[in-house]
Structure 1
């Protein structure tokens, strides 16, 4: 893996080099440094980004900041993966909206850097520019969870369920809570999610069965069973036909 460290502080660049040397999956890595966005862009533009796999990018730098540089990198023919490394945690959402693989806060711990490198290797390179069509499985949600911001691959989501002012996001292993409206999620992800109730959307790929079910609140009706989940989700009467069509297709 070829890595470019972009930080205006020499000490910060040196520390990252030391941490990288301690990470087991960077033994054969080549590490390059740039002290500002201009230097970084000159290095990457010369080859269209092909010579660098990952940029460890500071946000607050003199002149062009890291967020602005990230925008410019996305326009390269073969943009590198980006991991932000900054002392400021208040730009996390903006960073993930720029499709950053991870967001590390200083002082960086080796364990967190290792996790970020593993994500980069698992995800591979980013799509070539913002206009390129993204593969469906590369779509992600930005989740705020217990003070941490993380990207959750949409392919892992089994259902969205409206709960008062929040939406529960369920995967096979855990639940998350996010702000937003179910109607917005439905409009955005209709090709991948099916409305089964006024309060629930389910992943089309995960629908396995439609079963008779008794709910204490709604009485006798229908429920859908999803792959990898013991929990049943109630289906409203008006949506039973849509679920049957999904199973038939």
Structure 2
């Protein structure tokens, strides 16, 4: 089932922030309550020099997206490793908002990973977080540092993302990747087909193939299919061979997806034919 971030969330208490004019609106996202509390307290400690208002606290990326639908934020302080939706996937969804907040990762990664975050043009805080380092990160966010590049975030992801972002009627719909049967390139967009309907993704088919090599298989230059959605193949076209080709059968939908001659050996091997 798709998750819409228009849903009404159970709001977590936001406390310890000064209601000063010009204060940055901050959302704290960490699956550990003590870590959330520490960031909240540190924001209180630096309020005189760097005023903020905490708009909410969330235990994972999914909760964060729901909270942001209720109240926007200027800055999201996000842990990396979290259940349900991690910080990197959260950042990728935030980047597709009309007015995305600045994302500051909070991480226990070592120095090599820190260099990777710098290359991705997103700020980071190493745990345990120091007050002066937090103040510096907020200063960068207030200067509207550029949003992290989506391709760079792919390289930082601890695991494959679990959802695609779908823009519909001014909102973001979260489409579970596991429900997508195939992806088809059409002009500037990619159509994602589920058993129920089609969704339009503002993503590149080449990028999706590189990101999900174990989940999706290329059928031809404009189509990727979910490997576990294929349940057979049949010969299609004219029997004299003029337009004859192979097509795969997809569970749950009536479409037959054509396979290019170049890709047919790969598909045939997957099917064990």
TM-score, length of structure 1 as denominator length: 0.54
**Contact residue 166 and residue 177 of structure 1 kept, 8 A:** yes
Correspondence for 1:48: 35
Distance 2:247 2:198 in 1: 20
1:91 to 86, 99, 106: 99
Correspondence for 1:103: none
Distance 1:132 1:164 in 2: 28
Correspondence for 2:272: 248
Change in CA separation of 1:90 and 1:47 when aligned onto 2, cut-off 3 Å: same
Correspondence for 2:175: 152
| Counterparts of residues 8-157 of structure 1 (less than 5 Å) | 32-34=13-15, 36=17, 47-49=34-36, 53=59, 56=67, 58-60=71-73, 65-67=74-76, 69=77, 71=78, 74-75=79-80, 90-91=98-99, 133-134=158-159, 139-157=162-180
Secondary structure of the residue aligned to 1:212 is strand
Distance 2:258 2:85 in 1: 44
Unmatched 5+ stretches in structure 1: 1-18, 21-25, 84-88, 96-129
Aligned length in residues: 171
Distance 1:79 1:193 in 2: 22
TM-score, length of structure 2 as denominator length: 0.50
Report whether the alignment pairs 1:201 with 2:220: no
Which structure has the higher relative contact order (CA within 8 Å, separation 6+)?
2
**Contact residue 48 and residue 76 of structure 1 kept, 8 A:** no
**Contact residue 207 and residue 224 of structure 1 kept, 8 A:** yes
Change in CA separation of 1:224 and 1:32 when aligned onto 2, cut-off 3 Å: same
Correspondence for 1:169: 192
Q: Any idea what the Cα deviations from partners look like across 1:112-167, whole Å, max 9, x if unmatched?
A: xxxxxxxxxxxxxxxxxx97843x5x521111224322221111111111112221
Change in CA separation of 1:76 and 1:238 when aligned onto 2, cut-off 3 Å: closer
Report whether the alignment pairs 1:191 with 2:191: no
**Contact residue 93 and residue 149 of structure 1 kept, 8 A:** no
- Kindly indicate which of the two structures has a greater share of residues assigned to helix: 1
Change in CA separation of 1:34 and 1:171 when aligned onto 2, cut-off 3 Å: same
**Contact residue 164 and residue 201 of structure 2 kept, 8 A:** no
Change in CA separation of 1:77 and 1:233 when aligned onto 2, cut-off 3 Å: closer
Change in CA separation of 1:158 and 1:49 when aligned onto 2, cut-off 3 Å: same
Please state how far the C-alpha of 1:194 moved relative to its aligned partner. Answer: 0.4
Distance 2:253 2:101 in 1: 30
**Contact residue 211 and residue 224 of structure 1 kept, 8 A:** yes
Secondary structure of the residue aligned to 2:199 is strand
Q: CA RMSD in A?
A: 4.1
Distance 2:101 2:245 in 1: 41
